[in-house]
Each structure stands twice: as structure tokens, then as C-alpha cells.
Chains A and B, each alone.
Chain A
Amino acid sequence: MLRVVNGARVTSARRSRVYTISTAWLLALATLLAGGADARPASELGADPTMIKGAPAAPVTIVEFSDYQ
């Protein structure tokens, strides 16, 4: 997972540090999404209807935070 997150080969010493940072960040994000600050599904967090594609009743929702540039 960490190689995917960072997308590049790293030295063993650097990998260890990246592992710590990434794990902490992912745990924090997972905690928030699991019902920390806002327990609503991410799909309902104020999404603009024009920016949603797919069946409303679909069992899986992918929320993509992205940058055009």
C-alpha cells in the first residue's frame, strides 16, 4: 500500500518514515469517515447533483477529490 501511495521507490530508511506518516494519516482519515466528525456517508456531504454519475441506488459510491491541473 505504501508503495502505491507514494508511487516511487524509496530507500529503506526513508520508507520507514513514510510508513509512519502515511499510516497515521490514513488512520485519521478512516476514523473521520467511520463517523468521527460527520457520520453521514461521504456521498451525501453536499455533493452537487450535476457532479454525480451513476445510479442513485448503487450499493457502492466512489467519492473522488481531484485536481484538474
Chain B
Amino acid sequence: MKEYEGRVRLVFKDFPLPSHALARPAHEAARCAGALGRYWPYHDRLFAAQPAFERDALVRYAVEVGLPREAFARCLDERRFVSAVEADVAQARDLGIRSTPTFIINGRPLVGAHPVETFRTVIDEALRAAR
């Protein structure tokens, strides 16, 4: 992102796969972190910690990134963002997305984990087309 500062924005969408039992609470937890002002640090913490997403671990990561334990735990336990996560999942299904990660770069789908060079190529093409 730094390389393309001012030229690229990233939108993260939740798409927990049904086969990953602990993924959905992790996505809901990230939404709680966002509501409390620390979405991206928590997001990065989750990727570093995968797949250790038991409830107590999710709360511990929140504290590690500077979130208030009680407020975060309440949000998580009340499942405040269950419908928001489900809305992203439904949107993914509507778009025909079946696997993760799936990227859409100015409308162009890129499926799977790719080398950074592939992203540079696609982004550079999108930048040229946007001129």
C-alpha cells in the first residue's frame, strides 16, 4: 500500500468459509475492534495469530492492540456484528465468489494468493486505464 500511496485504496470484506469453524467469530471480533477504533491493528493481529481464534484468545488480542477488555468482550459476546458479517458473505455469494482470498481490482477479479509482482502488474494496468 505504501508503494501506491494516494493511488490505491483497500476495502476488506468478510468472507469466513463454512469449513473454518473459528473464522466467523474472528470476523465478528474484528468488526468489534473497528467499532472501538482499532480495526486494522486487530486485523493484522488476527492474520498473525491464525488459526488460534478461541474466544479468550480473541479478547487477549484486543487488549494487545490497545482495546478496552470489557467493552470488546461485551461486543463479541453479544454478537453485535453477526448480521454485518453475514451481509458480506451474502454479497460474496451474489458475486459468485467461492474461495479466499478473492481480490477485485477496479472490477477485475484476481483469485487466490499471488506474488506481489502479480499485484503490481494488475494495479499498474488499472492505473494506466484510469488516466
Binding site for B on A (CB under 8 A): 4-7, 25-26, 28-30, 32-34, 37, 41-43, 45-48, 50-56, 58-69
B100→A67 contact, CB < 8 A: yes
| Residues of chain A contacted by B111 (CB below 8 angstroms) | 5, 26
B interface secondary structure, majority: mixed
Instruction: Tell whether, in the assembled complex, residue A64 and residue B107 are in contact, meaning their CB atoms are under 8 Å apart.
Output: no
Contact of B6 among A45, A53, A58 (CB under 8 A): A58
Q: Bound state CA distance, A55 and B50, in angstroms?
A: 29
Chain A residues with CB below 8 A from B50, complex form: 68-69
Contact A47 B13, beta carbon cutoff 8 Å:
yes
Closest Cβ neighbor of A34 among chain B residues:
B107
Whole-angstrom CA separation of A41 from B30 in the bound complex: 24
